[in-house]
Homo-oligomer: A and B are copies of this chain.
Amino acid sequence: MGNDMTEAEPTAKRRVTIREVAERAGVSMATVSRVLSGNHPVPASTRARVLRAARDLDYVANAHARALVGGGRKMVAVVLRQVTSPFYAQVAEGVEAEAAARGWLCLVGTTGGDPQRELEFVQLMREEGARLVILVGGVVEDDAYRERVAHYAHALDSAGARLVLCGRPAPDPDIPALVVEFDNEAGAHAITGHLLSAGHRGIVFLGGLPGNTALDARVAGYRTALAEHGLPPEAAHVIDCGLGRAAGHRAMTQLLKETPDFTAVFAGDDMVAAGALRAIADAGLRVPDDISVVGYNDIPLAEDFNPPLTTVRTPAEELGRAAVRIALRDPEHAAGAHHLLGTHIVVRDSVQPPPPGRPH
């Protein structure tokens, strides 16, 4: 794997050390250290000489040596499936922004959804001494997951680091982890209600992912809304095609071919909605005239879809900011706490009452 003969990896040359700066300035290493760290009384003249020497040599401290003796750099790590998902990217940006504002370094790692890579990354962060690890995104909550996260939590905790679960459940309330997420059930309930109010009764949920907590919650909200409007349980029609544009496109195409007894689609997220929209157009149908479609997340380009998508706004960047803000505040009280962020519907042009001719 990428180890041809021609590969020549950069070999770290010897860097300028504090000793060389000290020699050039004619002082001891300790003095240089004091000048550089700033918080020690050093006469202006010495100070100037040292700074001068450091600049001349283009000295930068060795972060590893510094971390070894001092507390190490304040570092927060975000772990997500992929940065190319607009939603995850926004969460990461929120974390980054909040971290940067406090002078913390933010490291972004992606797993591609592979638990193994997630585990490796968390391990790595433990080695590097991250003080805060934020795991983002829904997951399939099985025993393996619960065990894995419980392990992360204890391992991180015993090293004095904190774990935040964003949009995924804590395996156990007693575990030293913090969860911050959106109220998926409420959001799904609201947007389903929106569809129902427009007169839709045949609403299919596209993009279920059984076991995935985020999606399950949305499905739950969808079912509840249906029930509250007096519809029987059979009225719920959930297609477990998973997330992503391609999945949405595929499932929608299939659905259109087989069971056209619906007038609206509730897509599991906006990317699924994008795929569904395309599939509907490909089938020669129009949104919202023939079929109404709603999404979830309100990604930045949702208003550029055709038609502009009515969806549930989940303030992703705020989720990221909240994760670090909460984790850094009142740690004792916060541990084990569960924070729910609110969402709201953004009405655009993809919903309309069902056409008269179509099944109820």
Partner of A278, one of B15, B65, B84, B304: B304
Question: Quick check: which of A18-26, A40-48, A89-97, A211-219 contacts chain B, the rest being far away?
Answer: A89-97
Q: How far apart are A8's CB and chain B's nearest CB, in angstroms?
A: 5
A171 within 8 A of B: no
**Chain B residues, CB < 8 A from A161:** 10, 12
- Distance in angstroms between the alpha carbons of A200 and B351 in the assembled complex: 36
Q: Is the CB of B132 within 8 A of A10?
A: yes
CB distance from A307 to the nearest CB of B (A): 7
Known: A301-B274, A303-B278. A12 touches B68 (CB 8 A): no
Contact assessment for B68 and A65 in the assembled complex, using a CB-CB cutoff below 8 Å: yes
What is the copy number of this chain in the assembly? 2
Map CB proximity to B onto A327-341 as digits: 1 under 8 Å, 0 otherwise: 011111000000000
Given A1-B102, A58-B158, A306-B305, does the pair A129, B83 have CB atoms closer than 8 Å? no
The A interface is mostly helix, strand or loop, or mixed, namely: mixed
- Contacting A306 at CB < 8 Å: which of B108, B123, B306? B306
The reply to whether A6 and B160 form a contact with Cβ atoms under 8 Å apart is no
Among B66, B101, B106, B159, point to the contact of A1 (Cβ < 8 A). Answer: B101
Count of A residues near B, CB < 8 Å?
A: 79
* Chain B residues whose C-beta falls within 8 Å of the C-beta of A93 in the assembled complex: 82-84, 110
CB contacts (< 8 Å) of A232 on chain B: these are none
- For the complex, give the distance between the alpha carbons of A278 and B162 in Å: 44
Give the nearest-CB partner of A274 in chain B.
Answer: B304
Q: Is A143 engaged at the interface, CB distance under 8 Å to the other chain?
A: no
User: Pick the contact of A86 from B9, B86, B96 — CB < 8 Å?
Assistant: B86
What is the bound-complex CA distance between A14 and B278, given in angstroms? Answer: 55
Query: Is B101 a contact partner of A124 (Cβ separation < 8 A)?
Result: no
**Interface assignment of A67: CB less than 8 Å from any CB of chain B:** yes
Known pairs A15-B159, A277-B304; A105 contacts B83 (CB<8 A): no
- Pull 12 A–B residue pairs with CB atoms less than 8 Å apart, ordered by A: A6-B329, A13-B160, A16-B158, A58-B155, A60-B123, A64-B65, A64-B72, A83-B92, A96-B110, A301-B304, A301-B305, A306-B307
| Apart from the given pairs A8-B330, A8-B332, A16-B158, 14 other A-B contacts in the complex at a CB distance below 8 Å | A8-B329, A9-B74, A10-B162, A15-B158, A60-B123, A64-B64, A68-B68, A83-B92, A83-B108, A84-B90, A84-B93, A84-B300, A100-B117, A304-B306
- Rank and list the top 6 A-B pairs by shortest CB-CB distance, nearest first: A306-B306, A13-B160, A63-B127, A64-B67, A108-B108, A10-B131
